[in-house]
Structure 1
């Protein structure tokens, strides 16, 4: 993990630069002024990972990060102000534990933290050695002492102490939604901004009497609040870990109008185009859905051309993007039939060039 250039005094200027960049990318499509959603200046990142660096001639290991492109010059980290307060509280306690325990420290090379706004925490310890019963005994003591769940990873082995997920609670339109966020699966890193994204998408979608198609649904981050705005949702996701988390989240929140299918966006495109059948769609009558909107939150590569073409069928396309360049490319493909009527910038990643954005496209 490379080190962000943390500088709260420069935050406003950096956000303005991102705003101008987004406006320039969307200018060819006559997009309206973007709505801007700022991040907290510090303690906003809910997950972090560190390599451990051993001092020459010593067994002591320290948290380390590296500048981009340089894997050989460690920057020793004692605290990490962009990370959540929970991570900063756990970092010195965990370090003291491994420094004082050879079983825990032997061939430990990486530490990962996953926390939530609700205060839950999970730590993953990664090793270049097999994990044995002696390690598990010490790890169970450590988990109890820190008040966390803990996962040990080594080649071909994974030991879970407590849970292999954290529990989050996010509020959208005065309703609290509970989320399981699994270790090793994607979750939005900036909880405060994620909550703003959910609220924006909820408001933009509006109250509907028809159905919603959702592509790339992940663990159901957007699915839960958006499902309360429509008659039914057909959601797709390819990651088995994320699908299992989404199903648990739907059940935990008593959301019963969502059908979740483990298909990629490309596969669903084939199914809707009747190119070929899929066993995972057995018993699902695709023609019974009355889709008025499609919601997409694709990876950095954006939508592939066929999936982008699929979205053209819908009167309204609600698109959340983690890469404004691929967002602009997808809008270009759709621009002859759809126009941008709402757009937003969500500053998920302060002090970096990355940004999350959202657009609503409506048929011309």
Structure 2
């Protein structure tokens, strides 16, 4: 069934929101202001979902996506919408979530702070692998779309992706996933390969060929079930203002380097620390916020459940000569 729909807003998850006879319908890759014909693909008591069949009139907000695979690849939802409008939508979605679920007055929410970069900012990307193809799954499917490069990824990630293809193993069928992590400040990266079954491939030799092609790669980690095989380094360093951080492979880290710097500056400004406070940070990770806070507070306690993140946090305190930070490995509820 094809119906005419006017898109009114954007939803969590990326779809545009319209109405069919009063019922909410979610339409991927639409934009507020679109007048479209929609083919309903799912119809429930509370909502419907549909795909764009035809544009009656396109929204003036629309722009040409910077990726030819947008709306085919399932990696992005809003590249056809200007970043300024994306930011507005994210702010409204957040406010609506607080109002509906938390019963919190959304007027307390401060304006969203824009990222210095809306493209080429991601320092970590996870790619799916099928036979010799590397890419992303189509939306709501396991059909792989091969990606020559990603406009959201840091340029070094795209170079490593090309280098991987150039030296790809002759029989990569056991490789299910590839993660690429880079350090924008240091200009190097590590590659993590996840195998679906054991392989007799010589990964040390593969690592040597990979680093010959892309010398910025400093480590290769191969995951087989619960085992790891490491060639080179399993962590990256990052210089962030006056602080230096280590991030182990598998530990959480912010993917937007420059926006992460902005967040730290913003938090320190809002906290207005005097030097005698005791600060408790939950979900402290590798000390991303804890270390700069500790440089201005009397004492900081970080609670983090991840073993590798706790190890990174303690090492980052040592590297930065921070002596007033304590890290406890526990859930936030028990810590």
Considering the TM-score relative to the shorter chain, is it more than 0.5? yes
Aligned to 1:223: 290
Contact 1:47 1:189 in 2 (8 A): yes
3-state DSSP class of the match of 1:45?
Answer: coil
Q: Provide the C-alpha distance between the structure 2 equivalents of 1:221 and 1:53, rounded to a whole number of angstroms.
A: 35
User: Shift of residue 8 of structure 1?
Assistant: 6.4
User: Shift of residue 34 of structure 1?
Assistant: 2.2
3-state DSSP class of the match of 1:158?
Answer: strand
Q: 1:178 to 1:8 in 2, by over 3 A?
A: farther
Please give the per-residue CA displacement for 1:290-326, whole angstroms capped at 9, x wherever unaligned: xxxxxxxxxxxxxxxxxxxxxxxxxxxxxxxxxxxxx
3-state DSSP class of the match of 1:166?
Answer: strand
Please give the per-residue CA displacement for 1:229-252, whole angstroms capped at 9, x wherever unaligned: 211112211111110011111111
**Could you tell me which of 85, 101, 107 is aligned with 1:13?**
85
- What are the within-5 Å matches in structure 2 for residues 20-39 of structure 1? 20-24=92-96, 25=98, 28=105, 30-31=107-108, 33-39=110-116
1:153 aligns with 2:153: no
Q: 1:262 to 1:32 in 2, by over 3 A?
A: closer
**Could you tell me which of 269, 274, 278 is aligned with 1:203?**
269
1:93 aligns with 2:93: no
1:79 aligns with 2:149: yes
Q: Provide the C-alpha distance between the structure 1 equivalents of 2:226 and 2:278, rounded to a whole number of angstroms.
A: 43
Contact 2:280 2:302 in 1 (8 A): yes
User: Shift of residue 261 of structure 1?
Assistant: 1.5
Greater strand percent: which structure? 2
3-state DSSP class of the match of 2:280?
Answer: strand
User: Shift of residue 157 of structure 1?
Assistant: 2.5
Q: Provide the C-alpha distance between the structure 1 equivalents of 2:310 and 2:232, rounded to a whole number of angstroms.
A: 21
Q: Provide the C-alpha distance between the structure 1 equivalents of 2:176 and 2:330, rounded to a whole number of angstroms.
A: 35
**Could you tell me which of 123, 137, 141 is aligned with 1:66?**
137
Aligned to 1:214: 281
Aligned to 1:193: 259
**Could you tell me which of 230, 234, 250 is aligned with 1:184?**
250
Please give the per-residue CA displacement for 1:128-164, whole angstroms capped at 9, x wherever unaligned: 3325573323323423542211111223421111111
Contact 2:183 2:237 in 1 (8 A): yes
Aligned to 1:260: 327
Contact 2:174 2:198 in 1 (8 A): no
3-state DSSP class of the match of 1:13?
Answer: helix
Aligned to 2:205: 137
Aligned to 1:48: 125
Q: 1:134 to 1:22 in 2, by over 3 A?
A: closer
3-state DSSP class of the match of 2:228?
Answer: strand
Contact 2:130 2:173 in 1 (8 A): no
Contact 1:233 1:258 in 2 (8 A): yes
Contact 2:167 2:209 in 1 (8 A): no
Greater helix percent: which structure? 1
Aligned to 1:245: 312
Q: Provide the C-alpha distance between the structure 2 equivalents of 1:155 and 1:142, rounded to a whole number of angstroms.
A: 23
Equivalent pairs counted in the alignment come to: 254
Q: 1:210 to 1:159 in 2, by over 3 A?
A: same
TM-score, length of structure 2 as denominator length: 0.70
Runs (5+) with no aligned partner, structure 2: 1-72
Contact 1:150 1:164 in 2 (8 A): yes
Contact 2:78 2:86 in 1 (8 A): no
Q: 1:32 to 1:124 in 2, by over 3 A?
A: closer
User: Shift of residue 184 of structure 1?
Assistant: 1.3
User: Shift of residue 106 of structure 1?
Assistant: 5.2
Aligned to 1:279: none
Cα RMSD (Å) of the superposition? Answer: 2.3
Contact 2:278 2:299 in 1 (8 A): yes
